[in-house]
Amino acid sequence: MEKQNRLNTSRIVHGHWRLNEWNLSPQQLLSLTQQCVDVGVTSFDHADIYGNYSCESLFGNVLNLQKELRHQLQIISKCGIKLVSDHYPERTIKSYDYSYQHIIYSAENSLRHLRTDYLDVLLLHRPSPFLNPNEVAKAFSHLLESGKVRAFGVSNFSPQSFEMLQKHCPMRLVTNQIEISPWCLEHFDNGNMDFLSGEKIQPMAWSPLAGGRFSQPNSASDQRIYNVLREIMVEIGATSIESVVYSWILAHPAEIVPIVGSGKIERIRTAVEALQQPLTPEQWFRIFIAAKGTDLL
């Protein structure tokens, strides 16, 4: 059993939330996965609920096609949200469940669906007003000791919720997966970025391109961000606006790990290319200020 104290993913992660929309055959998804690995994107982000509980199995089919691939990859999954779904007809409302039983049940389901015997990282998907940290700690310890999960973290947590859980867990929580982009600065304002930087915990950034919103600005604020991204794209000789967004995320000293949500290899390559495209602090601030809509004090 390998113990991990730091997030152990590739610098760019591929997100599988939209996997069932890509309509790829197992062979096509295998080919996409291999192309990701070839450009250094070896980590894949899942959740039990993605695609109404279908995405993990779609990726599991790929791992079954080429079993030796698993050891080149890192797989992240999440648990805790209970969706109303035809798979669970007894549920009448959406709720969260972080009981020992549910975490174990969910992690074991993820392993079965993904056709693997371990997860590299398991995250609690959202903070819950009904969370018992002792139950979570017990479940995490069991999963770690049995070798089923190598590292643990959270998603969408505040610094307070993170610290509260960390106090109860014997292992170090390795990430907080949060929304970060020029269209979502929330975590620069709520103390999360300071907290994670101070604790040397690498954040993962979901929806780094705000789900594609950047490409069609339809508000004054979107247009302002777009204009600055365009200016900087020209200045640094970047090939696309989105690569400047990835560079903005990658430039942050907290070593944020962006999760690319596109199913197209050329768009995944764009994120990888941004690694070679550093921004100056001033360029970083121009994007930040355009996104905030006000000058710094």
Residues that bind ligand NAP (CB under 6 A): 15-18, 45, 155-156, 177, 206-212, 215, 242, 259-264, 267
Q: Shortest approach of ligand NAP to residue 134 CB, angstroms?
A: 24
Closest to ligand NAP by CB, 82 vs 142, is 82
3-state secondary structure of 88: strand
Nearest residue to ligand NAP, by Cβ distance, number only: 261
Number of Cα atoms under 13 Å in the Cβ half of residue 120: 19
Helix (H) or strand (E) holding 171: none
CB-wise, 203 or 261, nearer to ligand NAP? 261
Contact in structure between 181 and 242 (CB atoms under 8 Å): no
Give the residue numbers marked as catalytic: 50
* Residue 209 vs 238, nearer CB to ligand NAP: 209
Alpha-carbon distance values, 9 to 13, 129, 202 (Å): 7, 29, 10
Q: Which residues of 27-65 are buried (b: 16+ CB within 10 A; e: fewer)?
A: eebbebbeebeebebbbbbbbbbbbebebbbbbbbbbbe
- Find the shortest distance in angstroms from Cβ 212 to ligand NAP: 3
Least distance from ligand NAP to the Cβ atom of residue 163, Å? 19
Cα separation of 87 and 90, whole Å? 9
Nearer to ligand NAP, 116 or 177 (CB): 177
Sign of CA dihedral 229, 234, 236, 237: positive
Q: Which of residues 83 and 142 has its CB atom nearest to ligand NAP in the complex?
A: 83
**Per DSSP, which regions of the chain are E strands?**
13-15, 43-45, 74-79, 81-82, 95-96, 121-124, 152-155, 173-179, 204-206, 257-260
* Residue 232: CB minimum distance to ligand NAP, A: 16
Nearer to ligand NAP, 182 or 261 (CB): 261
Residue 79's DSSP bridge partners are 124
Give the whole-angstrom CA distance, residue 4 versus residue 264. Answer: 31
Residues 226 and 290: their CA atoms lie apart, in Å, by 9
Minimal distance in Å, beta carbon 205 to ligand NAP?
A: 8
Min separation Cβ 31 and ligand NAP, Å? 16
